Amino acid sequence: MKISVVGCGRWGSFIAWYLDSLGHDVLLYGREDSIHLKRFRETRTNGLVTLSRRVRLTSDLCESMESEIIIVSISAQNLRELMERISGYEPMGKTFVLCMKGLEAKSGKRLSEIAGEYMDGTNKVAVWLGPGHVQEFLRGIPNCMVIDSWDEETKRNLVAAFSGELIRFYYGNDLIGNEVGAAAKNVVGIAAGILDGLNLTSLKGALMSRATWEIAKLIKAMGGNELSAYGLCHLGDYEATVFSEFSHNRRFGEMFVKGERFSELAEGYTTILALMELSSAYEVELPICRAVYDVLHQGKSANDALNELFLRSVKQEF
């Protein structure tokens, strides 16, 4: 297949490498001022991924729209701006695959909703979600991930095209639940990092059990299947997010509570704003998410937030 990957950061460049390894014709797009694209043009590597000469590089977004499949791997908060630009090229008959985990901070909208606003009926939208770190994939450590879409044929085609020995894909059956769950797990990752930073790692068991339950409630209220919170896109991603040394969100939470600066992207920082919007809109109490929000955006002491959270009465737990 002819595939374009829009976004040449850590995950986007890995996707280009992975799909090239499966024999697809891959084009990797980055902005002209992207330091990542500059490095690939000069050395074919970013220090993690080394791209073969088969992978073409471009800073021409119009050129990337020529492929039949367009994979998007950028910051979730930049998706609307990108889709506005893409819509100017009037794409038709394309399949857009969103490979990012987040919600629009201001509106609480899922990313497939945002992409759909700029598409006509000839285009399809899917999501590629689930656990996995680039560093582990490149060491040959396999994992399982999920492809989901409202369109069944799109799911079947993508799973068939993207599956390999390194990644086994499952068919998603709950776009709402999988998108919300995948986005929310980044907030749980930040909470886990806060626990690590306070030397309270032993509380991660309580964090995981309670966080899954409250996200399940939100998914159900939004019209999804609450059991999706216990699948690969949320609970199934906890190992990679809550414990891994490679988790940006966990590391961000740890450094935040220590008063240190973290320079990489941690999607959970803005996702928590969207979750607070959804909590209000659907009248679902999200105590763990609220605690993270208070610490990150309201200046509340992490110790105070944790004491209030974990000292809630037993009657309030479930």
The verdict on 49 and 103 lying in the same domain is yes
The verdict on 244 and 164 lying in the same domain is no
State both tokens at 31. Answer: 């902005």
CATH of the domain at 62: 3.40.50.720
Of 171, 201, 235, which residue sits at a domain end?
Answer: 171
CATH of the domain at 229: 1.10.1040.10
The verdict on 252 and 301 lying in the same domain is yes
The verdict on 105 and 199 lying in the same domain is no
Of 171, 188, 205, which residue sits at a domain end?
Answer: 171
The verdict on 19 and 156 lying in the same domain is yes
Tens-digit pLDDT profile for the chain (318 aa)? Answer: 999 999 999 999 999 999 999 999 999 999 999 999 999 999 999 999 999 999 999 999 999 999 999 999 999 999 999 999 999 999 999 999 999 999 999 999 999 999 999 999 999 999 999 999 999 999 999 999 999 999 999 999 999 999 999 999 999 999 999 999 999 999 999 999 999 999 999 999 999 999 999 999 999 999 999 999 999 999 999 999 999 999 999 999 999 999 999 888 889 999 999 999 999 999 999 999 999 999 999 999 999 998 888 765 444 544
pLDDT number for residue 91: 95
β-pairing verdict for 56-58 and 25-29: parallel
The values of phi and psi at residue 179, to 5°, are -70, -45
Look up 185 and say whether it is catalytic.
Answer: yes
The verdict on 66 and 201 lying in the same domain is no
C-beta separation of 294 from 102 below 8 A? no
The verdict on 116 and 259 lying in the same domain is no
The verdict on 162 and 237 lying in the same domain is no
The verdict on 163 and 213 lying in the same domain is no
The verdict on 113 and 16 lying in the same domain is yes
Q: Which of 101, 109, 155, 185 is catalytic?
A: 185
The verdict on 208 and 165 lying in the same domain is no
The verdict on 25 and 109 lying in the same domain is yes
Give the domain extent around 297. Answer: 175-317
- Buried b / exposed e over 20-52, threshold 16 CB at 10 Å, is bebebebbbbbeeebebbebbeeeeebeebebe
State both tokens at 175. Answer: 């776009």
What is the C-alpha to C-alpha distance for residues 318 and 314, in angstroms, rounded to an integer? Answer: 8
Q: How many distinct structural domains can be found in the chain?
A: 2
Of 171, 196, 212, which residue sits at a domain end?
Answer: 171
